[in-house]
Structure 1
Amino acid sequence: MKNDLPIIRLRGRGEWLLGRDGFVVSFFIHRDHTEVAPAIWGAVQTYRRAIPPGSLNWYTSDDGDMVPLDEEGWEHNRREVIDCLEGGGRTVELRESPSETGGYQVEYYGRLLDSPFHDAPVTALAFTFPSEYFLEHGADHLRALALELARELPFNFGYVSFALVSTQGAWASADWTVLDGLLSRYLGLDVYSVGKAGSVIGTHSLGPHWLTFLGRPLLGRLGGIDAMRRALSFPEVSLRPMEGDRLLVTLGEGPDPIDTEKGAIPSQYLALGRLLKPFMFEYTGDIDEMQGKMNCWRRRLCP
């Protein structure tokens, strides 16, 4: 297990905490949210049972305000996920803190695939953990928990990674000099914005991660489980088939921040990156500076 994870505290104006070191578990599901609502709520409850009591304290109300997450708030969010037969989008955002980024967060964006408001939408779900949770429980525990979170989800793509945990992609408003330094040094550090990614990712991937989940139709485009087994014949790699033509690829005993000051990129990450490269999401057309930066960054492990 890697125990040399860097401690990161990314602050903005007024010293508000915009991002911190931790882990993200993300899933992108190429289904209307009306089809997967019970599985989504089941995963949220699995996460709730796994984290320390009182770790989630606030949620985003219908009018956009942050309000305390009491039992009435839990029921409100359950209805937001489950009571969806009339269609439309659904959003659930649960947080540790009402203002700063905390280690424990849930972000869920339920969408319809034919939504006219997004380019290539999917239903997206993400859970975060502070690094302290990982260091206390270990890599095997986090991997088993990720499998349990994924058990009923018909994902196209998903992953678990050491990450810059941030609320709704708030890392993007930080000092880019500091952020560029972090991303240039730690190639295994994920920066994510699950809401934005879920509106454009379609059936694409977001590159290789410590734990990479592959499902329909992406796994088929990669040649299936047997092709993955042949291409990833490294001693550090394990492949775990899952029901429903799904696969979990594990790239090492524990997550690797891939510190470029300490060593080269592990070969198994590059190998999976080569496989995923043709199916990677990237912004196209008239893109802005941020989108261009993100395109380059996503290809960092895809030679």
Structure 2
Amino acid sequence: MNRPPPRIRLRKPNGVPIARDALSINLYMRHPHREVAPALLRSIDRYRRALGSDVLSDYSFEGCGWDELDDSGWERLRREVLESPGPILELMDTTSGEQRFRLDYFGSYGALIGPPTEGPTTVCAVSFWLPTEYLEEHGPGHVRELALELAAPLPFCSGHAGLAFNTGQDLLYAKPELRKLLFLHPGMDAPRLDTLALHLGAKVRTPSWLTFLGQPVLGELGGASGLRARLHSPDITVQEMESERVVVTCGPEPEAGEDGRMPPAYRELARVLEPWLFHEQYLIDSTLTADELRRWERRLLD
């Protein structure tokens, strides 16, 4: 990599980690969980093969405590994924104490969302997490190929992969020093998967190093050829995938941004996607103003 990601290691006074730099791969599916479940298991298997079968040590189903992911734990997890109408899953590496590897999934809450329409906003949402050390060791080309392999089985309507803050808290509503880093490095995301699973719908979460686009947004852009015609930066490539989907890549490696600035390719993609970008409607914490939220959401536009 030409420029290593910023090193972020924030801890509480007692040593418990608050946030660290990471890379997240996020995909959103406007289909009922039962249609997504078999593909989700294939993506989870690919994640395990890439990282090692033992890297995820524990899991939580519907927030009901933690179970060990031994052989019987994996069998239990598979049954629950296939049989539940809309599960909430957390898989993580607890051995390092930093949750360097994570997988989060929110099903569609059992909603009968059907095929993409302008109606319900619930989606099935999944995040695959990697530490930046993995990115530095294996290189961005390997990570990009892994992201495409994880995405390929899933019937995504949109998605994104890039640098992010790995934190167990809602970063946008957390301590001031975290929000300062958020605005300092606009290429680092803070995905709130629970909110997105309820409200994202057909919108696009954010442009990123890798931006995955499916239907209906890609069709409204005129397909892969129509999207290419709108993008002129030599640092942007549009690669077609099966089932009328594409991945848009901004540059050879993910960028964190410095002093609130990002490379021009990110801003160009953001301007093209602006009519479809997601805007959060609900403020949970009064310490974050609506203006702060909008400024962060438009960090690649303004």
Please report the TM-score for the alignment, with normalisation by the length of structure 1. Answer: 0.89
Equivalence for 1:210: 209
Contact kept? 2:4, 2:136, Cα under 8 Å: no
Q: Tell me the CA shift for residue 222 of structure 1.
A: 2.5
Equivalence for 2:32: 32
Q: Of the candidates 262, 273, 278, which is equivalent to residue 276 of structure 1?
A: 273
Unaligned runs of 5+ in 1: none
1:3 and 2:41 aligned: no
Q: Tell me the CA shift for residue 260 of structure 1.
A: 2.2
Equivalence for 2:295: 296
Equivalence for 2:82: 82
Q: Tell me the CA shift for residue 257 of structure 1.
A: 0.8
TM-superposition CA deviations, 1:241-296 (whole Å, max 9, x none): 011110000000101111127xx421111111112211111133787644734333
Q: Which whole-Å CA distance do the structure 2 matches of 1:286 and 1:164 have between them?
A: 20
Q: Which whole-Å CA distance do the structure 2 matches of 1:70 and 1:12 have between them?
A: 31
Q: Which whole-Å CA distance do the structure 2 matches of 1:144 and 1:227 have between them?
A: 24
Q: Which whole-Å CA distance do the structure 1 matches of 2:267 and 2:87 have between them?
A: 36
TM-superposition CA deviations, 1:25-73 (whole Å, max 9, x none): 0001011111121101100010011114432111114562122221111
Worse-superposed segment, 90-99 or 207-216: 90-99
1:108 and 2:109 aligned: no
Q: Tell me the CA shift for residue 157 of structure 1.
A: 0.8
Aligned 1:16-27 pairs, distance under 5 A: 16-27=16-27
Aligned 1:141-180 pairs, distance under 5 A: 141-167=142-168, 169-171=169-171, 174-175=174-175, 177-180=176-179
Relative distance call for 1:113 and 1:134 in structure 2 (3 A) is same
Aligned 1:52-67 pairs, distance under 5 A: 52-61=52-61, 64-67=64-67
Q: Which whole-Å CA distance do the structure 2 matches of 1:170 and 1:12 have between them?
A: 15
Partner amino acid, structure 1, of 2:240: P
Contact kept? 1:92, 1:108, Cα under 8 Å: yes
Q: Which whole-Å CA distance do the structure 2 matches of 1:161 and 1:220 have between them?
A: 24
Please report the TM-score for the alignment, with normalisation by the length of structure 2. Answer: 0.89
Partner amino acid, structure 1, of 2:83: D
Worse-superposed segment, 241-250 or 285-294: 285-294
Q: Tell me the CA shift for residue 173 of structure 1.
A: 6.1
Number of positions where the alignment pairs a residue of Structure 1 with one of Structure 2: 293
Equivalence for 2:263: 266
Contact kept? 1:164, 1:191, Cα under 8 Å: yes
